[in-house]
A and B are shown apart, each in its own frame.
Chain A
């Protein structure tokens, strides 16, 4: 029996002597299995509500309790904290395994009932559950092999350490291995990968089917069956296996076929348990093996007396006695009067119905009150019926479906149950409830007339009203399509996602509403906002089209505001999504403007948690729009409130702390950033927490890179990118951000070829996902920088020039435009066009200062002007250039000194340049050398020994020693840098390596 009682999270105690006997029999069979490693089949046959499923769940619980700690399988099929509702599950789905747990047996459960979607794909997905466990089985096998090997090698010398102990020692850490390879995530990532693979497969197939493509789904599912059988055979070499198939009568024929093939083979140990409605001679579970047992209402039957003897006398699926049922009620409603419970027990022999009724509020109240007022007993049946009548529509559709099935078993009520079920279906799927009727008619008329919709087979797209079921979007690009349908087609790539994640009808219906609104149809504003919300959240998981996401949420917010809808939590959430979308596209200032009104809402308008989220989002935009200090203040306030509200290890708080760290990094305070991130990751990865915090990992890699620990950064960023590609997809913004980080790390390590390949890929992906957005332009500038580093100044200048021209079309004085122009000038200078570069840089500086003299970017322009003048001095010897260049560099140093938010490497670069410039006309004095040495030490403390900037200044130090008359020491220091370049994995193509090469060949390196 099952617990369908709302309000309970655990089923009532298992009861019924005959059923306990069945479980004891299953246990005895199981215990025999290792000794007679063959395949055994037990068929439980009885009417719905007889308790078949509960018996198997109880048997599962008994096996799980007998596991060696830490147990791999959760104690219950249902899990400990599943929400109330349907309990018709055949095996545990995704759950958190304790660290180190490995399976001692395998439990594979198949729920025969079919839901929405393509049954073959569902079957394939169910069969693939074995993939979830397969690595753990292999891991266990490996550890046992290893333990045996070690024990045999060490012989008796290991004394107390037996094979088992060694194996357990390995098992304890087996899962940690996964965790170590994928820090902080472990099995969750593994499962996530499988789920993602499943979604992809399903999406692909659904897409092809939806597009009218001929796909032999049976062949696809058949392949899955073959794969499943192959894996079962492999597992059986290692572990005993239980396969439980619930409701065999509703199973896919291919699954039946697979079972027959399984049972036809001798090798075990395998226990197959099936349940089906008892239908006498019509049973599906035909014996395909001589070791079989049937358990029915009448008892246990088997051709093998030894098997039958496993079950104690009296074991059967006979109905519970009234007393046993009353005991169940007594447990569910502890205050029920004993007589009331017996009365109810007598009325409802079916356990499903009994549990449902006991879970009903009014029934519970009546039962509880009956202990005080015996008169209520007489009223109880009527109250139950009344409850069913009144609350039918609000019951979970799966509960209703279940009841309908129960009712089907009693012919008198079948018509009524079917009517109710269909009524529900109509209510939820009638488009006319969502669009004003004329609009719905207009749309549907157009749709059919223009062939936007086409008839299809199968349930997935039967989403309109009953008369028009069986229509789906047409799959053709047509010039004649209206804007609404073009919008719909743009959305259709997501159909498959909705088919997997949610009720597909609702997803498509939402798409229709939005499309109609965008096309100018008059749509209920409330329905539109709700649809936008759902769509946005569905889209959020994919990020296939971020501008569309922003457009939808923006549309909804605008519509809602125009209609004067109050800004409640739902609309706020939509605004959040809009702002997020804007931020992903680099439009932080617009996001800032969008979010600002939300902060003005009074305290009662939003739940505190949501308000904090909005403020967090606002702070992120503020970082760009206003400045790091303001953002840092806001982040810290948010963090304090989150800590008070949510606790010290709440994910939201950890995310905010990541942002605090990032903001410190923006200010150049990398030490502070690293300390915070270290703490955040330690919290996230603490034993028991085991949280995946990719943002923190990303930031940590970024900070390590900034501090010059390129190997450390690469060690984090590379695996993170792989993981995000697997779990989030290649186009997710977080994946792309990590890819950008990987580009930067590769570039800093001097692995320019790899960096260029990644950068080109990033530019293409960003262009595809974000269009001509700021982020796409940023990706292009990465490519240009790589060209510059590779010495291809012409190509670099061409890209920067194009970017600057594109930016100029929009806003010639925008910071991004000016930065591109700045970079263009630097590339032109490197190509030898000093005068042109100087002129451009001067122009950039003038325009920047006219726009906002406090911008930090101006300092870099001043520096590059100074450097360019010194380049010209080195060529021409004109002392005016030297003086002017030196003055500009000192000016830049002074400006940087007043800017604590400037990044450390930039600050050091400026100082080193100024230091070198000071020596250009009269060489290095002893004081200069001491100052340079002190600078080097400071850099090392700030940036770390591996930072290229530190190594670069060591090369300058070697130059200084050479000029001071110590060429041997100079040479030795160059050799030392060369050794470090090799040791730290810096590519020979890196400019440092080229500088080393130049110095080793007696060339000067100033102002590289």
Chain B
């Protein structure tokens, strides 16, 4: 696992090249679809046993972008294979979306369960992939395929049940506007385009009302999808008004990424509204792909060296699209300041406090309400990052609990949490020691049961407070 400035060539080029090469490893030429890589969907499928749908569409884009021998023909096969997976069931909730995996039945069962029997967001993911593919490479594709792709996009857009996407569910909402506006522009449907423009205005208004932040605030993966959707809105919507509205949203999100990114630790400061894992240096986060493409600073696993260790590696497959959109957007430079600071953020009824120091950072969500936004089960209301003794990044995090900052001194922070079911750490305490040590930092997690009950779990240690309702003190102190 590594992160470093990519000096050898522009980040976008390298991302494009490596991500296509990575995806190609999992390409099943028999099915003309991409297989699931290791570290993906591990809970219900061994690697290379499922064919992925949006990822295959992204791979087709990557092949077209690479333009090597045979790539065009293979890309067409892939696009056709994906087209075949669109579901047909007028009036049913899954109509117009795509099979969750190619192995899923052509027609979801009676009473199909959302997110298991079908993924409604595949409408937006695949439609956006098709849209940008047509936008860039339509001239390379047979007309009949192009029109099939356009029809599939329109169908996906139109089949989206009104009100299915909640207002705070930012990423599919943005992608829906992107696909819808592209489709409307292509067809010259001004009314539809105006409708898309109005929807984006509503999103922008909500963004303004929340102090220039999305509801999916600080989500290492979904920030990347939001940048993808916003870039499409800026580049391919066919509407100057949409581009003008999207541009400041994209800049604001990038500024937030830049602001939260700790150049030394290679991570965004927590807490996260949604996150698959706590440490971006150990998995593929889409935000990291954007940072790589725009700034050349690379964060995350070296998947070209050890592709089997690229946790969440299927997100690498979005690389060619990110690279191209980042190229169009233009390069950026990260602010490299690591000066200590404390930031307090309010987002509606939610509150966040972020502490940054030169060698560590932590963030905590201090909201008292019940988490109710879409994806709240992936939230990480407390995350701390620091440097381990072996030089790698270490993280301590929790996925629930009501957190409170009881002490905020220059050299120490004391948190209190109730209702926390587990606190995880990728760094075990040293033998016989009470505290976990990171470079310049000493962290004590004091539960009612004392210090000595960290349990080993894969990838680190875990403390399970004996009673979820009991309070736990997390004391973080500068050390040495």
Residues of A participating in the B interface, judged by any CB pair closer than 8 Å: 142-143, 146, 150, 153-154, 157-159, 169-170, 172-174, 176-177, 180-181, 926, 929-930, 933-934, 936-937, 939-941, 945, 950, 953-954, 957-958, 961, 964, 966, 968-969, 972-973, 975-976, 979, 983
Given pairs A154-B414, A937-B49, A976-B47, 13 additional interface contacts (CB within 8 A) = A154-B475, A157-B406, A157-B407, A157-B414, A169-B448, A180-B453, A929-B30, A934-B103, A937-B46, A940-B44, A945-B42, A953-B46, A972-B308
Closest to A968 in B: B25
Q: Is the CB of B451 within 8 A of A169?
A: no
Say yes or no for B26: interface residue by CB 8 A criterion. yes
Contact with A along B464-476 (1 / 0, CB 8 A): 0011001101010
Q: Given the complex of chains A and B, what is the CA–CA distance between A851 and B441 in angstroms?
A: 71
Say yes or no for B458: interface residue by CB 8 A criterion. yes
Would you mind naming 12 contact pairs between A and B with Cβ atoms under 8 Å apart? A154-B406, A169-B470, A172-B470, A173-B447, A933-B48, A941-B44, A954-B46, A954-B47, A958-B48, A968-B25, A972-B25, A979-B38
Shortest CB distance B117–A (Å): 15
Set B28, B45, B47, B470: member contacting A973, Cβ < 8 A: B47
Set B45, B48, B466: member contacting A961, Cβ < 8 A: B48
Q: Range of interface residues on chain B? A: 35 or more
Q: Which chain A residues lie closer than 8 Å to B447 at the CB level?
A: 173
Q: Is the CB of B48 within 8 A of A969?
A: yes
Given contacts A150-B446, A976-B47, contact A158 B308 (CB under 8 A): no
Shortest CB distance B24–A (Å): 8
Given contacts A169-B448, A173-B466, A177-B453, contact A950 B46 (CB under 8 A): yes
Q: In the complex, which of the residues A170, A972, A975 has the most CB atoms of chain B within 10 Å of its own CB atom?
A: A972
Q: Is the CB of A957 within 8 A of B458?
A: no
Q: Is the CB of A957 within 8 A of B49?
A: yes
Q: Given the complex of chains A and B, what is the CA–CA distance between A239 and B99 in angstroms?
A: 69
Q: Which chain A residues lie closer than 8 Å to B409 at the CB level?
A: 157
Say yes or no for B204: interface residue by CB 8 A criterion. no
Question: Main SS of the interface on chain A?
Answer: helix
Shortest CB distance B410–A (Å): 13
Q: Given the complex of chains A and B, what is the CA–CA distance between A954 and B45 in angstroms?
A: 11
Q: Is the CB of B414 within 8 A of A933?
A: no
Q: Which chain A residues lie closer than 8 Å to B470 at the CB level?
A: 169, 172-173
Set A142, A150, A926, A957: member contacting B48, Cβ < 8 A: A957
Q: Which chain B residues lie closer than 8 Å to A170 at the CB level?
A: 448-450
Shortest CB distance A210–B (Å): 44
Closest to A935 in B: B49
Q: Given the complex of chains A and B, what is the CA–CA distance between A508 and B46 in angstroms?
A: 64
Q: Which chain B residues lie closer than 8 Å to A941 at the CB level?
A: 44
Closest to A142 in B: B450
Set A159, A176, A964, A976: member contacting B308, Cβ < 8 A: A976
Q: Is the CB of A177 within 8 A of B25?
A: no
Q: Which chain B residues lie closer than 8 Å to A972 at the CB level?
A: 25, 38, 307-308
Q: Given the complex of chains A and B, what is the CA–CA distance between A945 and B475 in angstroms?
A: 36
Closest to B451 in A: A146
Q: Which chain A residues lie closer than 8 Å to B450 at the CB level?
A: 142-143, 146, 170, 177
Say yes or no for B309: interface residue by CB 8 A criterion. yes
Q: Which chain B residues lie closer than 8 Å to A929 at the CB level?
A: 30
Closest to B452 in A: A177
Query: Which residues in window 390-411 of B have CB below 8 A to A?
Result: 406-407, 409
Q: Is the CB of B449 within 8 A of A176?
A: yes
Shortest CB distance B409–A (Å): 8
Q: Which chain B residues lie closer than 8 Å to A158 at the CB level?
A: 406-407, 414
Q: Which chain B residues lie closer than 8 Å to A933 at the CB level?
A: 46, 48-50, 103
Say yes or no for B433: interface residue by CB 8 A criterion. no
Q: Given the complex of chains A and B, what is the CA–CA distance between A65 and B373 in angstroms?
A: 50
Q: Which chain B residues lie closer than 8 Å to A976 at the CB level?
A: 38, 47, 308
Closest to A172 in B: B448
Shortest CB distance B170–A (Å): 32
Shortest CB distance B81–A (Å): 13
Shortest CB distance B474–A (Å): 12
Say yes or no for B339: interface residue by CB 8 A criterion. no
Set B30, B307, B406, B451: member contacting A964, Cβ < 8 A: B30
Q: Which chain A residues lie closer than 8 Å to B42 at the CB level?
A: 945
Q: Is the CB of A150 within 8 A of B38?
A: no
Q: Is the CB of B25 within 8 A of A173?
A: no
Say yes or no for B7: interface residue by CB 8 A criterion. no
Q: Which chain B residues lie closer than 8 Å to A181 at the CB level?
A: 453
Q: Is the CB of A969 within 8 A of B49?
A: no
Top-4 shortest CB links A-B: A173-B448, A933-B49, A926-B30, A976-B308
Q: Is the CB of B471 within 8 A of A169?
A: yes
Q: Which chain B residues lie closer than 8 Å to A954 at the CB level?
A: 46-47
Q: Is the CB of B49 within 8 A of A936?
A: yes
Shortest CB distance A146–B (Å): 7
Q: Which chain A residues lie closer than 8 Å to B35 at the CB level?
A: 969
Query: Which residues in window 18-38 of B have CB below 8 A to A?
Result: 25-26, 28-31, 35, 38
Say yes or no for B191: interface residue by CB 8 A criterion. no
Closest to A155 in B: B407
Set A153, A159, A934: member contacting B406, Cβ < 8 A: A159
Q: Given the complex of chains A and B, what is the CA–CA distance between A926 and B51 in angstroms?
A: 13
Say yes or no for B43: interface residue by CB 8 A criterion. yes
Shortest CB distance A851–B (Å): 40
Given contacts A142-B450, A150-B446, A937-B50, contact A945 B43 (CB under 8 A): yes
Q: Which chain B residues lie closer than 8 Å to A973 at the CB level?
A: 38, 47-48, 308
Q: Is the CB of A975 within 8 A of B30?
A: no
Say yes or no for B143: interface residue by CB 8 A criterion. no
Contact with A along B450-462 (1 / 0, CB 8 A): 1101000010000
Closest to A160 in B: B406
Q: Is the CB of A146 within 8 A of B308?
A: no
Q: Given the complex of chains A and B, what is the CA–CA distance between A918 and B409 in angstroms?
A: 69
Shortest CB distance B179–A (Å): 31
Shortest CB distance B206–A (Å): 37
Q: Is the CB of A979 within 8 A of B50?
A: no
Q: Is the CB of B473 within 8 A of A150?
A: yes
Q: Which chain A residues lie closer than 8 Å to B38 at the CB level?
A: 972-973, 976, 979
Q: Is the CB of A176 within 8 A of B466?
A: yes
Q: Given the complex of chains A and B, what is the CA–CA distance between A146 and B45 in angstroms?
A: 46
Closest to B24 in A: A968
Q: Is the CB of B49 within 8 A of A180?
A: no
Closest to B446 in A: A150
Set A957, A968, A983: member contacting B46, Cβ < 8 A: A957
Shortest CB distance B47–A (Å): 6
Q: In the complex, which of the residues B26, B44, B308, B449 has the most CB atoms of chain A within 10 Å of its own CB atom?
A: B449
Q: Which chain A residues lie closer than 8 Å to B103 at the CB level?
A: 930, 933-934, 937
Contact with A along B292-324 (1 / 0, CB 8 A): 000000000000001111000000000000000
Q: Which chain B residues lie closer than 8 Å to A173 at the CB level?
A: 447-449, 466-467, 470
Q: Which chain B residues lie closer than 8 Å to A143 at the CB level?
A: 450
Set A180, A926, A937, A979: member contacting B31, Cβ < 8 A: A926
Shortest CB distance A999–B (Å): 13
Q: Is the CB of A969 within 8 A of B26?
A: yes
Q: Which chain B residues lie closer than 8 Å to A930 at the CB level?
A: 31, 103
Q: Given the complex of chains A and B, what is the CA–CA distance between A958 and B414 in angstroms?
A: 50
Shortest CB distance A719–B (Å): 12
Closest to A715 in B: B455
Query: Which residues in window 144-200 of B have CB below 8 A to A?
Result: none
Q: Given the complex of chains A and B, what is the CA–CA distance between A976 and B448 in angstroms?
A: 40
Q: Which chain A residues lie closer than 8 Å to B475 at the CB level?
A: 150, 153-154
Given contacts A150-B473, A176-B467, A177-B449, contact A975 B46 (CB under 8 A): no
Q: Given the complex of chains A and B, what is the CA–CA distance between A177 and B452 in angstroms?
A: 9
Shortest CB distance A978–B (Å): 8
Q: Is the CB of A937 within 8 A of B45?
A: yes
Q: Which chain A residues lie closer than 8 Å to B44 at the CB level?
A: 937, 940-941
Q: Given the complex of chains A and B, what is the CA–CA distance between A445 and B84 in angstroms?
A: 100
Q: In the complex, which of the residues A934, A953, A976, A979 has the most CB atoms of chain B within 10 Å of its own CB atom?
A: A976
Closest to B466 in A: A176
Q: Which chain B residues lie closer than 8 Å to A142 at the CB level?
A: 450
